[in-house]
Structure 1
Amino acid sequence: MENDCSRFVQKCHKCQIHGDLIKVPPTEPNAMMSPWPFAAWGMYFIGPIEPDASNKHCFILVTKDYFTKWVEVASYSSVTKKVVTDFVRNNIICQFGIPESIITDNGANLNSHLMKEMCAQFQITHQNSTAY
C-alpha cells in the first residue's frame, strides 16, 4: 500500500507542484532596507475609494516604516502636493524625527517640487520604487 501511494504521488501533477520542497537549496538572506527604526519610510496613496466617506474623503495616504513596520495613515478628499508635504512634516518628521530616506511610487503628487524642496531642506534621500 505504501508503494502504491508513492507511485501515485510521483504521477500526480498537483502533488508534485504543492509537495514539500525539501531538496530546494536555501536562499540568500535579504539585506534589511532600514538600519534602525524610523530611518526609512515607504509612502503611497490608496484610492479613489467608493463610496466616499461621510466627510467626502476618498483617498488614503499610507506610510510605513521599513524597520518596525509602523504605519501612519490619513484620509483626504483630494491628492495634492501640499497634502503630501504637510503629512510628511506633521506625521513623520514631527513625531519620529527626520528619516534618512523616503521611498515613494512614481506618482506626480509624491514627486513634486515641494517634496524635493522639503527633502533637500531636511537632507532626506527621496527614492522611487520600481513600477508595478
Structure 2
Amino acid sequence: MWNSYERVYFWMTIESDCSKFVQKCHKFQVPGDLIRVSLHELNIMSLPWPFVACSMDVIGPIEPLAFNGHRFILVTIDYFTKWIEAASYKTVTKKVVIVFVKNNLICQFRIPKSIITDNGANLNSNLMKETCEQFKIIHRNSTAYRPQMNGAVEAANKNIKKILKDGR
C-alpha cells in the first residue's frame, strides 16, 4: 500500500547513464590493490559425463531430530550437473556410507571416476577403500585445514540446512 507522501520514479536510461558515469570517473578507472598470491599451475577439470566426479559429505547432527529419528544427512553432489543426492540416517557408519555409494551413485547413475570427501573417519574407512578399489574409483580427500575447498558439496550443505531451517 502506497502512502500519499511516497513517490515512484522510473529512470529508463539508468544502465547507460551509470556506464557513462563509471567511464568518466577516475576513481573507478584506477585498478585496486593487486592480490599478492604466489603463482601456481591451474588444474583443468574436464568432466566428460555426469557423475564422473562427485563430492560427498555428512551434515549433522541435526537438532531437533527428524520425525523418523534421523539425525544425519549424507550428501553427494555431481560436479558436472550439480545434481544433489541426499539421504537421512540415524547414524552414518562406514557401512551406511558404502550402501549409499552403491545405491545412490553406482546403481542410479554409473560408477564415478572419482569421489572427493573430507577427512571424516566414516568416509575414509578401509571398507570405503576396498569399495573404491573394487569399482576402480579414485578416492580423494579435501585438505584437512580448509574443508571449504570442497566448495560444491559445502554449498549444497548450506542450501539443505537453509531448507530444513525454513521448513520447520
TM-score category (smaller protein): 0.7 to 0.9
State the TM-score, normalizing by the size of structure 1. 0.77
RMSD, aligned α-carbons: 2.6
Identify the match of residue 66 of structure 2 among 41, 47, 53: 53
Structure with the larger strand share: 1
Unaligned runs of 5+ residues in structure 1 are 1-8, 11-15
Unaligned runs of 5+ residues in structure 2 are 1-24, 35-40, 147-168
Other structure's SS at 2:106 match: helix
Other structure's SS at 2:121 match: coil
Identify the match of residue 139 of structure 2 among 118, 122, 126: 126
Q: Distance between the aligned counterparts of 2:30 and 2:50, measured in 1?
A: 35
Alignment partner, residue 31 of structure 1 = 44
Alignment partner, residue 9 of structure 2 = none
Alignment partner, residue 63 of structure 1 = 76
Task: Name the count of aligned residue pairs.
Answer: 114
1:38 deviates by 1.0
State the TM-score, normalizing by the size of structure 2. 0.61
Alignment partner, residue 44 of structure 1 = 57
1:30 deviates by 7.0
Q: Distance between the aligned counterparts of 1:64 and 1:114, measured in 2?
A: 21
Identity score, percent? 65
Q: Distance between the aligned counterparts of 1:57 and 1:22, measured in 2?
A: 54
